[in-house]
Amino acid sequence: MRILLADDHEMVRDTIAAYLRSEGNAEVVCVPDFVVAAKTIEAERPFDLILLDFTMPGMNGLEGLKRAIQISRDAPVALLSGTAPARIAQEAVDLGAAGFIPKSLGAKSLVNAARFMIMGETFVPASVLGEGEEENETEFVRQLSQREREVLLGLCLGKANKEIARELELQEVTVKLHVRTLCRKIGAKNRTQAAVIAKEAGFA
């Protein structure tokens, strides 16, 4: 399967692309914003699936989704989000989106969702539509702040504090503090154990 992945957060983009490549043997084209995504959709050979981050530059919320559907050449278009409320998922589907993917979705679930949408089905986790924004997160994810989740993603990818700091535009000492805090929250003794615990919890 050939997938276009558009997300302005490099760490998240790399993580999702790695999932799709390793678990789904997918060819993934990554772009950082909606403007580049639109140009790529129009310029390259058709994609099997288009994944768009809801909050990336140029997206303008659901306006970007509508534009992408118009130019997608019948490829399914889905939203990615770690923060959008449940009503956005419903509105996206109503507008013709193929699905809504929480960024906390595990690797195998993400690949299965991608395949599901490519087959012409609509994918939205039942918890998102049924219970709202809070329920699509596991207890493990809920205990962490957004920044701690971003740092933890970096740990799961084996990145050094310096790399994480650069990607998140933080001071390295700030990243170290986040690592210490999230380790305490999830009961990890060190960064390596934190990555292991996160993966076992389905975080990455």
Give the chain's mean pLDDT. 88
Q: How confident is the model at residue 88 (pLDDT cuts 50, 70, 90)?
A: confident
Instruction: Please give the CATH number for the structural domain made up of 2-136.
Output: 3.40.50.2300
Both tokens assigned to 18: 């790695």
**Residue 158, number of CB atoms within 10 A of its CB:** 10
Whether the predicted pLDDT of 25 surpasses 70: yes
Phi-psi region of 52 (alpha: psi -120 to 50; beta: other; left: phi over 0): beta
Whether the predicted pLDDT of 11 surpasses 80: yes
User: Of the given ranges (33-42, 75-84, 185-194), which has the lowest mean pLDDT?
Assistant: 75-84
Residue 125 Cα to chain centre, angstroms:
14
User: Domain segments of the chain: what residues?
Assistant: 2-136, 141-200
Give pLDDT tens digits for 56-81.
999 988 999 999 999 999 999 999 98
Q: With H, G, I as helix, E, B as strand and everything else as coil, classify residue 30.
A: strand
User: Of the given ranges (54-58, 69-73, 80-84, 126-130), which has the lowest mean pLDDT?
Assistant: 126-130
CA-CA distances (angstroms) from residue 129 to 92, 109, 153, 170? 12, 17, 26, 34
**Domain 141-200, CATH 1.20.1280.260 — does that match?**
no
Q: With H, G, I as helix, E, B as strand and everything else as coil, classify residue 155.
A: helix
CATH topology identical between 2-136 and 141-200: no
Check residue 63 and give its pLDDT.
93
Q: What number is the average pLDDT over the span 7-14?
A: 90
| d(C-alpha 87, C-alpha 75), whole Å | 23
pTM score = 0.65
| d(C-alpha 160, C-alpha 15), whole Å | 15
